Structures are given as C-alpha cells and as structure tokens.
Structure 1
C-alpha cells in the first residue's frame, strides 16, 4: 500500500515536471513566446479546504498563510471554536490572473497581492517544483483573500465574475423544509404584541416526527441553554446564515458536528415555552431573524 502510494505520488510529480519542461522549452525556443499575449485564465474558482479529524481553525490558517481573522471573515463563522469534520472552508474569494514580468520573483508577487507563497503554490501546482524559475509571460492564479489586496483595475475586471458567483450563491441558499408534510400553524412577524422570529410547523405524527437539517452545516448549539426555546439545535451554514430548531423532544446531534442537508437532528417536541407539539423554525442572517418562507423550497 505504501509502495503504491509512493508510485502514485512520483507519477504525479513526473507529470508536473513534464508540464514545466514543456513550458520552459517553449519559452526557450520560441523567439516570440515572451511577446505573445497569454490566453485568459479559464478558472476563477474559490479555493476550499475540507476539514479533517484533528484540524483546528488556527492550524488551517497557518498552513495556508492566512491569519485566523481572515479565515473567520472569509467563511463568516459565528463560532471559530467549532469546526466540524467534513466542513468545507473557503481559503479565497476567487482568483485574479497575474502575468509575470521581467525580474519578478514569487516573493514579489506574493507581497504585491498580500498572500503567502504557500497559498500561491497550493493554487498553482507547477510552482511547487520551480518557484524560483518564473518566466516572462507566465500566468499565475492569485487566490483573493481580501478584495482590498487587489488593485482597483484588477478588481474591476473581476466584477462580472463576482456578480455571477453571487447569483449562484443566492440559489444555493434555498432551504429544505425541516418537517416533511408540515402544516404552518404560526407565521413570521408580530404576534400577541411580540415579535415571532420564525414560523411554527406541525405534523400529525407529533412526537414521532423527525426534524431534518434544512441545509448542510455545523452544529453550533445543541441543548436547552436558551430561555423559552426548550431543546434547541442551531446550525451554522457559513456566510452568516444560521437556522434554529426549537422545542424538540429529543436531540440526536452535538456541538461541532457537521451534518448533511436532510440529516435527522432530533424529534418534534413541546419543551420550553410551547403550547403543544410543534417545531419553531428560525432563519437568521448575521443574527438578524428573516422570514423562513423566503428561503424554504416551494
């Protein structure tokens, strides 16, 4: 098994070396190579990292040359101390393309964009082998960890791509109903002179009704620590979005656990300030309650 892994690793390195050699030979024997305009980069992906067992947020940040503050802000984490196994963390907001000029080094480019060499090498695998042998006209993908680290002109070039990404992000915010075949018994808004911060759902199976995660995320609360909510589960979905599941009879998850969309969190109950079996469901953006019906799939 170890020999097979070593062979696979070496095969990957051979391919990278062949790619590098090809590019260097092209530059060496094509007199017009440094004059040709590089093709525009096709990728503008957001770099992500999947949390493994034993990872810490500070450790991940250090590994990729980010500050803990940058990593928390990129992922809009409500509680930096809770990182679930399998959770995907953003390491960048996307890419800009840099074309190498005469005399530039990787350190120069890293300083210019305010990123680490490690992050550049992670995004551009060829740089891992030949980081000190850049050539004029070479294109490098720069992971953007902070919009202010990019020059105004370069950022304006990316605005169209950013707007498209934002639209895709809004589509990904659609939530599944946490209760199947639910009847909404109380809506969002002022009720009995007080603000009702969510909606109430009921199912005829009452205490036997499973409560499902409306979207994948990390459990940041699970228990009875909030007055009035009874047994409560709070999921953090990143980018400031959280969902609340209150008055549960039984909780099946624990803080720090990563859950998939649709995973059972527990069962409907009547704990806390409740007049009967139901689920009180809240959606919060940056801790501001929002009408869940705006997010729930139809």
Structure 2
C-alpha cells in the first residue's frame, strides 16, 4: 500500500513538472530551449562532474528536455489519476464498513454473554431458593446426629434426643411434602384438565327420548322427533282417536356408547302405535305439494306397493319415444312410497290412487276478448308474457286478427303428475353459400356468366333439450361441427361501359357533356405539349391543394398507383371504345381497381406527388393508348 502511494505521488509530481515546464500553449519556455546553456556570469550549480568512462555506461542518459504530450496521453494520465482516486475512495469506504460491522459484532457478542451470565445467575439463584429447605433440613439433621454420637460416647441418656430427632424428621418431611405439593399440584391439575377436555371433545352425545311416560329410544337431535311428529299427524289426518297434541317429549343428553338411533320413519311408527288408533302395515304414497317446496302430502296407502311402483314406472315410460331412447324422464314433483304403520281409514285400493294421479291439477283457462283489448293488456291481465300468449295461440295473429268475442288460451292444463324429459338431440342445419362477383373488363356492362355453381354447407348440432309436459322449455347447444363447407357461387359480370358517341379519329370532336371538367375550378396551363414530352393538360388554381378530383366520364377503374416519381399518386379510368383518362399528382385516392365510377364521382384529391413543382391536376386523355389533347374533349 505504501509503495502504491509513493508511485501515485511520483506520477502526480511528474505531471506537474511537465506542465510547469511548458507555457500556456504547451511549448517550452524560451529560456529552456537550450537547457545546457546558462546566462553569462552564472555558474551551473546543477551541472554534474565528468565521470570516468567505466561509470558513464552505468549512468542513465540525461533527460532530453520537456516533450509536448499528445491529447491521448493527457487523457490517459487523467483517467489513471481518476482510477487511483476511486480505488482510494473504495478502500476508505470498505474500512468504514468493516469498522462499523466489527463494532456491531463486538456489541452483540458482549450483550449475549452478559445475558447468558444473568440467565445462569438467575437459574442458580432460583435453584438455591428452591432447595434451601432441603439443605437446612440436612444440616440440622447432621447436627442432631453428631450430638447423639457425643451423648452415646459419654454414656448419657439418649432417649429424649432420639425422640427429638424422630419428631424433627416427621416435621421436616411433612414440610417437604407440602412444598412438593405446592409445586406439583398445579401442574397435575393442568394435565388432568387437558386429558378430560380431550376425552370429552371426541365424545358423541345423543338424546334419550321419553314420550307419553314411556322410554321410546335414542335419537341424534330434536329435529328427528319433530319430523316424526309431523309425519304422524299427516298419517292420522281425519282420525278422531289421534294422540293428544299437548303431550311433550322428555329428552336426556347422554354420551353414546353404541346405542342404535331411531330414523324418522321408525319413530313415526312408534308414535302412531302409541296413539291408540287401529293401524295396519301398508305403503304410504306421498306427493310434493308443489315443485321444489319439499313439503310432502299423503295421498293414501296401499297394501301392495309393488303394483303402484310398476304403475309409476310405466307412466313415465309412455313418454319415451324412438328418438328419446336415452332420455332422462322424471316427475316434476317428488313422489315417495314409504312402508310403515297407517290407520285403516288411509288405506285405499290401487285403482283409486291411479285415478287420483291421472287427474289434472288445473285445467285449461280461456279469455274472451273485449273491446279495447290489446295483446299486451291481455297478457298483463292473465299474468303471462305476450310471447307465451302467442305460443299458446299459434293459429291467431295477435297483431291483426284480434276481435271482441274471440277466445284465447291463457293457461294450459297442468297434470297432477307433471313429467320432465331431458333428451340429447342431434340435428343438422344448412349453411348459406356466398355469391362472389368477378368483373370482366373486356365485356360490357350487363353481361353475366355463371362461372361456378354454389352449394350449401351442412352444420350438425348436439343439444340438450328439456320438455315439460310435452312442451319444450329449454335448449342448450353443447356441441356444433361443420359436416360440409359451403361452396361460394362465382358470378362474372361485364365491366366495360362504352361511350354513347365514339370519335372516329383523334381530331374528331364529341358532343357537349360527354366529358366533364375533372375538378371544381381552374384552367388549363400548360396544355397538351406545352413543353417537350408533356402529354396532358395541367389544371391548377390558387389553393387547389386537396380539392376533389372527379371522374370526367363514367367508366371502370383499371389502375390505381401510389407512386413517388413520375405521375405520383394517379388513377386510370377506362371509358370504353378505347378511351381512357389519367388523373395524376393526386394527394389522396378514393377508388380501387375494378370499381365502377359514374361521371362527377369523386375519385381523389389534387396534390403534388411525383414530379410536380406545385399542386395541380395532370389530366390526360388516351385514345387507343395514344395521348391526345384533352382540351378538345373538355371544350369540344
């Protein structure tokens, strides 16, 4: 480190000497141009003595004098000095960081050892305080034993002393027991509470049920009894000997030890048996009061439930068709057949229950139209939508043929056993083909030719369809795929629009109005061949940039070019009969190739693209490909 510092100092000193030996312009001073010459009368004190030849070879060559440094050398020395300073700054910063870190580590180490020493002292002090009674008892016991040995040595009476020792031990052991109990009892109590809570936490509790003074059994909760009581009331509806309603159950909470639990149906049978009514084993038929209500109503009971189940299955299967072999058919309302004890009066023949299930819950309803009725008013009166009203009356046009006295169906019949069918259907639909048009410039307008016949495509759908009582209520498409792609129809049409009057020669004139002025103003200048090679007529006026360019006559666009040289942005329109017009140097183009344009239709805007010294429209007329004077077509 010291060596590097010395090198830095010598380098800086050498740079300073070099700069001090030069003037402001970087050249040596005048009095330094001949360093070996001195002013007259002055002695060179720094001149060295002549050395022997043997030593001259060992002496380094004399410094030839200050040499001007190049700019690159100065820049290199500056960067070298800057790098040395950055290294010094880095070393100083690292020393500071190291010093702070070492100070922090020493402080943490000191605090840790201090805390460790305090903790050891606290533990040792606590242990001594905890065991001090035992140490005192041991010390006092040794003193009594020594005293007893002294008495025995001198032959004195030791009975009183022995009794004192025994009493001392009894008292001390009692004190030690109390001391241990004070420490161990809280710990043991906590352990006991934990074990007790753990044993009760995993315990399952049930209710022991007593009803009408009799122990009935065990249930999981009170809701089981309430459901069974409601079911009992449903079975005994209309019975005069039903159990009193004021009998309250008695519950006792006990831990479960393997006792069997009563189900709702089993408990219902027990409650019915305790009612004193005449009962019989039968299968009760329950039907939901309304779809989704979960409230079951007893319709009756039958002694042969198998026959009733067969009827219900056949009732659903009558809706299955050949196209619905895999359909899911279910009743809209929940229907259950529960075996159990039922009063004799609730038992009915199977045929009677079949007839009851085949009845309609609500019949069809009709509305008679009165004066002033509208489809919306009729739908609001009956609580339905206009779409539903039209669906129920497809034979009537509600917007046209609606007269007073007409009857409209406003509600369909609702069977007691509604059926819901969910079927997967596959069907196909046709995909329309497109009609594409191709323009044939060589044919006149009005000519057509069918180039390719169109063919419709086929798309197959897979949908889940829901039918309720035979009416479709929902359709969800789950898959669709194209079986055959459509083939577009291609129709060729003529694009050539011939002129009404075609000139016989390039010098012939045309009737007035055949070609219109191609912009909204201006005049021609220079005109056709106004200078060498100029084949068009330049139209310009003050502020013409951006002015619309119009088609001079009707025709077909045959060229649209966005050029940067020559004509620049330009358009060529074919008018038939070999006549074409060119619109050049435009700033905007608004048409495309093949487009039909009419006379006076805007096709671009005046600009100065291409070889143009200013904004203008270069309008050119070509007859059979040869440029002719456009003024004759515009002015006749």
User: How high is the TM-score relative to the length of structure 2?
Assistant: 0.22
- Between 1 and 2, higher relative CO (CA 8 Å, sep ≥ 6) is seen in 1
The structure that has the greater radius of gyration is 2
Give the TM-score, by structure 1 length. Answer: 0.45
Kindly indicate which of the two structures has a greater share of residues assigned to helix. Answer: 2
